[in-house]
Structure 1
Amino acid sequence: MHMFIFPNTNKAIMFDSLLFGPSQIRLPKMEDDEEEEEDSWAHAVEYDTDTAAIRPLKILTDTWCSSGGLSANGTLVHTGGWGDGGRSVRYMISGCSTCDWKEYPEALNGTRWYSTQHILPDGSFIVVGGRSMYNYEYVPEEGKCNEKLYGLPFLKKTTDPCENNLYPFVFLSTDGNIFIFANNRSILLSPTRNKVVRELPVLSGGSRNHPASAMSTLLPIKLHDPEVIQAKVLICGGAKHDAALLAEKAIFVDALQDCATIDITNPKATWHKETMPSPRVMGDMIQLPTGDVLMINGAKKGTAGWNFAEDPNLTPVLYRPEKPKTQRYSELTPTTIPRMSHSTSVVLPDGKILVAGGNPNYYYNFTGLKYPTEVRVEKFYPPYLDPFLASDCPSIISNFKGKKVKYSDKIVIQFKLKKAKVNKIDFKVTMYAPPFTTHGFSMGQRLLVLRINKLISIGSKVLQVTVAAPPRATIAPPGYYLLFVVYRGVPSTGIWVQIA
């Protein structure tokens, strides 16, 4: 399953493959519709995150195991998939109540199945890897076809008998280079020179990419000092190198239980390991507005694949990177719904987490199985939504809709807070780039902690904070971000801000 949230409308798009049989939602029947019955089922929906209302959408080419991201103007740019969808680029416009997919089936040069997409500083997209695709390419302008791809031997070197290098972890570093992690190795690639500029140390312990399927994210990018802007990567969980081969024989080995961080802006960086509370494979890793990281979904044994996992990991974990090493992990309230292969999660503007999906079966099978195809949708409430913390919750008054923020601009935000006296040190202002999430990886996810220049009171329990916008596009690629004011670890509801 794949999921992302549109800016301003706050509507989620959820979609799957065309291959797995009838869903439980039908497409609207047109008067001149003479298609076969099996084509009348919706495999994509627009989901209203406030009301749970759905609008069926029609996919034309197969989106199974595809990739995507939001463009600078808020349009979904979506690439690849299975079969006739492997070379497709698809578009969907935000804020259109009647729009559906717009597809170009031969836009890509390579067949991109299990590839990863990421936005670049100029607003274009790079697409990396895929099954037997040891290369990368750039998404062409809408309506055009890509004539060139770039070889990347690194991807072939990281393939093993289980593959374990699909859906590579891809992040834009703060220096403009692209970090690519596959299996247990990583490189920095210059997208302007199309050259590998550095190979990083091996991460020991096992494999981290599909089907071993660890979790990964960039840790919050702090902009307090514009001259020193680090980029640190966090990777947690995964599986032993041969776990998928064993799972084919119904032997489910324990997932990995380690977490590792590395500063990819440090030429001499090494991996630093920790132990999380439980093993996890196929989990989702989500940046929260506070700068903490949520791990949710997944399994404790096995790998991704068709019934290749057992022992669902029902307990979310909160990772606090600013805490001492022994205090970083907290286990949270467990769910009762197993969500292993093909589950997804996204952050909503109100700080809740939308959680959906889960299907370890080759076809949709809704009943009679230990792990049936999951159609229930949940919202997870992180600890900062505890009602006892309501008085610490800021409420933003400012509205940036229709306005664009320029790099290095001053951003002035007015907000209410039920406190008579406050201290600047208790505040953060964060900006979150909403990701495209599938197979346990949130493509394009990015959280920035802005530099606070001034905090003043402008009325009864009304405050105004002035922050510095990100200095350049390598720090924050152009596009829409959710902006939050955080007070003592409690975030406001986010507002949408567009960086031009």
Structure 2
Amino acid sequence: MGRVETDPWCSSGHLLPSGDLLSTGGNKMGEKAVRLLKKDDPVPKFVDRKDALGSGHWYASNCILEDGGAVIIGGRDSYTYDYIPPSADFESNSKNLPFLEQTTTPAFGPGLHIENNLYPFVYLLPDGNVFIFANDRAISFNPQTGATVKEYPVLEGGSRNYPPSGQSALLPLRLTADNKPVTAEVVVCGGNKPDAFQNVDPRYTQNRVFAPAFYDCNRIIVTADNPAWQKEQDMPSPRTMGDLLQLPNGQFLLINGAKKGTSGWDDAEDPNLTPTVYMPENEMGNRFRELRPTNIPRMYHSSSSVLPDGKILVAGSNCHQFYTYDGPYPTELRVEKFSPHYLDPKFKKDRPVITVGATDKLLKYGQQFKVTFTIASNPKLVDGDVIVTLLHPPFTTHGWSQNQRMLICGIVKFDRNVITAAAPASGKLAPPGYYMLFVSHRNIPSKGVWVQVGP
């Protein structure tokens, strides 16, 4: 890969429409840097650009926009956002976003940071504006001007962003073949009390208290005229620092994290070892299902990713300032693959298999495309038995999957084993780039096929 010249520690990132990876911001000399990794480079290497950004961004979040460019938002002592165009060839720029300063818990003194609003949860909305949730509040804003478009109610109960580190996701966007208006809904789960970090981190206290993380989840329809938070079913166990991953079938997976404490060096205990499926469309009371637990703690600095075969790659966990291999929660270098419930061998005969050569790989906005598949059991299918989903691969770090986005495509025609579906209407729904396409039969997904979506 070659040497990275700038410091990407606790940085952010996203994919360009070309599929190239852009790493943004970081610590110290890396806070204004970007690093480009081209997917077609025969000798992969990061190309660093120092001082490319107009502001420093450490613990920031990226949001891809309708043109394939992205905004890099916030971070420690940063109340601004920068825009990077789709080509990643740009001059430094920066715009103020007062909301970031308004949601920052004041520091106690030089070098002492509480914040509670780092790695804010950000999502591109169907109208092209950006939804941002930080600490316990949310707005949507115009990414061209920075102007606030809508203010949302406070989410009572605690702090949800780093370091209390709850989990959040944009629920799948359900499209129609005739391009009806799309509803966007966001869920926020877990986190901890606003003072949880200062009561456990040794920089603030000698009487450390590992506060229990939250069980609760809350949902809000962000496109509603009068949006309001709705209490969701509680998770089966409390969780901070967990990943909330979008699965190929429209469900989610809660994995990794801890039951007590917060993000930060040595600031959590009681690892949450039990992966849990979240099924937001089920009836209340039947939305969570616990799966087989691991025996490897995955807390601070752990990560996970959904693979095209439907498995989950799980790695990392270093709760300490340096690599530490003794004592509680040693630095973890092992990597695991986790097979979710839908990969149980008993479902093999009912699992769709996409016929790659007879499936469109280039999806144009607003146009129809075809997906060909087979199911070994040859079931008699009725409306709703099969869905076609597009999953944008996220940049997952510190319990936050940036630009994770799923679209359930509108089906135009179903002819035996060939689906004619409608591609998303525009970049406001699906920013241009590479997506994993899946076919799911009664919540059992196929392996994914890489497709490119764009104008």
Which category of TM-score, normalised to the shorter sequence, fits these structures?
Answer: over 0.9
Matches within 5 A, 1:113-262: 113-139=58-84, 142-146=88-92, 148-161=93-106, 162-224=114-176, 226-248=179-201, 249=205, 250-262=208-220
Residue 422 of structure 2 corresponds to residue 474 of structure 1? no
Checking the alignment, whether the CA contact within 8 Å between 2:360 and 2:370 is kept in structure 1 is no
Say which SS state the counterpart of residue 197 (structure 1) adopts. Answer: strand
Once residues 401 and 429 of structure 1 are traced to their aligned partners in structure 2, the CA distance between those partners, rounded to angstroms, is 12
User: What percent identity do the matched residue pairs reach?
Assistant: 48
Checking the alignment, whether the CA contact within 8 Å between 1:61 and 1:105 is kept in structure 2 is yes
Give the structure-2-normalised TM-score: 0.94
Residue 34 of structure 2 corresponds to residue 76 of structure 1? no
Q: Which amino acid aligns with 1:412?
A: K
Say which SS state the counterpart of residue 315 (structure 2) adopts. Answer: strand
Say which SS state the counterpart of residue 414 (structure 1) adopts. Answer: strand
Aligned to 2:331: 373
Once residues 471 and 395 of structure 1 are traced to their aligned partners in structure 2, the CA distance between those partners, rounded to angstroms, is 26
Once residues 97 and 201 of structure 1 are traced to their aligned partners in structure 2, the CA distance between those partners, rounded to angstroms, is 50
Say which SS state the counterpart of residue 53 (structure 2) adopts. Answer: coil
Once residues 326 and 408 of structure 2 are traced to their aligned partners in structure 1, the CA distance between those partners, rounded to angstroms, is 47
Once residues 401 and 372 of structure 1 are traced to their aligned partners in structure 2, the CA distance between those partners, rounded to angstroms, is 46
In the TM superposition, residue 194 of structure 1 has moved relative to its aligned partner by 2.6
Q: Which amino acid aligns with 2:18?
A: N
Cα distance 1:400–1:181, how it changes in 2: closer, same or farther (>3 A)? Answer: farther
Cα distance 1:399–1:102, how it changes in 2: closer, same or farther (>3 A)? Answer: farther
In the TM superposition, residue 295 of structure 1 has moved relative to its aligned partner by 0.4
Checking the alignment, whether the CA contact within 8 Å between 1:454 and 1:465 is kept in structure 2 is yes
2:231 pairs with one of 273, 289, 292: 273
Once residues 374 and 400 of structure 1 are traced to their aligned partners in structure 2, the CA distance between those partners, rounded to angstroms, is 43
Aligned to 2:305: 346
Cα distance 1:112–1:272, how it changes in 2: closer, same or farther (>3 A)? Answer: same
In the TM superposition, residue 424 of structure 1 has moved relative to its aligned partner by 3.6
1:301 pairs with one of 231, 241, 260: 260
Q: Which amino acid aligns with 2:269?
A: E
Gaps of 5+ in 1: 1-55, 458-462
Say which SS state the counterpart of residue 451 (structure 2) adopts. Answer: strand
1:71-125 CA distance string (max 9 Å, x none): 1110011100001111001110114341210110111010110110111101111
Matches within 5 A, 1:279-294: 279-294=238-253
Matches within 5 A, 1:395-406: 395-399=353-357, 403-406=361-364
Once residues 139 and 377 of structure 2 are traced to their aligned partners in structure 1, the CA distance between those partners, rounded to angstroms, is 48
Checking the alignment, whether the CA contact within 8 Å between 2:368 and 2:422 is kept in structure 1 is yes
Once residues 378 and 115 of structure 2 are traced to their aligned partners in structure 1, the CA distance between those partners, rounded to angstroms, is 58
Cα distance 1:395–1:401, how it changes in 2: closer, same or farther (>3 A)? Answer: closer
In the TM superposition, residue 58 of structure 1 has moved relative to its aligned partner by 2.3
Checking the alignment, whether the CA contact within 8 Å between 2:84 and 2:90 is kept in structure 1 is no
Matches within 5 A, 1:386-401: 386-399=344-357
2:340 pairs with one of 374, 382, 388: 382
2:5 pairs with one of 35, 51, 60: 60
Matches within 5 A, 1:33-52: none
In the TM superposition, residue 59 of structure 1 has moved relative to its aligned partner by 1.6
Once residues 260 and 484 of structure 1 are traced to their aligned partners in structure 2, the CA distance between those partners, rounded to angstroms, is 28
Cα distance 1:399–1:83, how it changes in 2: closer, same or farther (>3 A)? Answer: farther
Q: Which amino acid aligns with 2:443?
A: G
Once residues 440 and 88 of structure 2 are traced to their aligned partners in structure 1, the CA distance between those partners, rounded to angstroms, is 38
Once residues 116 and 79 of structure 1 are traced to their aligned partners in structure 2, the CA distance between those partners, rounded to angstroms, is 9
Once residues 245 and 81 of structure 2 are traced to their aligned partners in structure 1, the CA distance between those partners, rounded to angstroms, is 26
In the TM superposition, residue 405 of structure 1 has moved relative to its aligned partner by 1.5
Aligned to 1:492: 446
Cα distance 1:229–1:430, how it changes in 2: closer, same or farther (>3 A)? Answer: same
Say which SS state the counterpart of residue 356 (structure 1) adopts. Answer: strand
Aligned to 2:377: 419
Q: Which amino acid aligns with 2:100?
A: L
Checking the alignment, whether the CA contact within 8 Å between 2:240 and 2:257 is kept in structure 1 is yes
Q: Which amino acid aligns with 1:454?
A: K
Cα distance 1:155–1:323, how it changes in 2: closer, same or farther (>3 A)? Answer: same
In the TM superposition, residue 420 of structure 1 has moved relative to its aligned partner by 3.1
